Amino acid sequence: MDSELDALLDQIQDEIEEHGEASAEAMERLHVFCQAMDVKIDQIGRFLRVMETRAEYRKKESARYAARAKRAQSKIERTESMVLYYLASHNLKKVESHEFTLKRTKNSQDSVLVTQPDSVPDDLRRFEAKIDGPLWLDVIDALPKTLAEPLVASVKSSEPSNSAIKQHIANGGVIEGASVKRAYHPRIE
């Protein structure tokens, strides 16, 4: 399409230079081309708006389904607790129907039941944290090897920090595989 427009504009320029004005036929072709371009731009704009709406709707649906799944899981747990309570209170190991048998079976290992999470001391907790690189390096350097190694081994993941990378490059630093540049994004008006 760009080459077609270039050729058309060259033709119009040539006609103006040779005859003082462009031919009606060339101007009509330019007009048709511009109308087609408007239609394409409108189609792209409508498509982007529809897809943005769908994405937002699906994010909301995802959150709604997650909440419904959590409620359903809670109902399962409450129902299982009621079944266990019934069996225990009637000193039964199982109850049977035509389709199902519900049993009270001892677990293979002990379960932890936390009723007051705030009362559990820090040394009996698992922590998940996001730490900026400089603080992380300072902590690892300050720790003895016997503490630093298990701490490093406990890291589940790490990700580049955009703000730290921007600052490093702004201060004249270079990072292979990372750069900072002003990008573009389409905006629909």
* CB within 8 Å of 171: residues ≥ 6 apart: none
Q: Kindly state the average pLDDT of the residues 76-85.
A: 90
Write the DSSP assignment of 82-150 as a string of letters.
HHHHHHHHTT-SEEE-SS-EEE----SS-----S-GGGS-GGG--------HHHHHHHHHHS-HHHHHH
CA distance 48 to 69: 31
Per-residue model confidence (pLDDT) at position 54: 92
Top-confidence residue, 64 or 34: 64
Q: Which of 6-20, 52-66, 116-130, 156-170 has the highest mean pLDDT?
A: 52-66
- Is residue 93 within 8 A of residue 103, CB to CB? The reply is yes
* CB within 8 Å of 45: residues ≥ 6 apart: 188
CA distance 138 to 91: 59
pLDDT at residue 108 greater than cutoff 90: no
CA distance 28 to 98: 81
Reported pTM? 0.47
**155 three-class SS:** coil
**Tokens 């922590």 sit on residue:** 127
Query: Residues 67-80: pLDDT tens digits?
Result: 999 999 999 989 98
Residue type, 119: S
- Is residue 40 within 8 A of residue 5, CB to CB? The reply is no
Residue 145: HSE in the Cβ half-sphere, 13 Å Cα cutoff:
0
Q: Where are the domains of the chain?
A: 129-174
Query: Residues 155-171: pLDDT tens digits?
Result: 888 788 888 888 888 89
**179 three-class SS:** coil
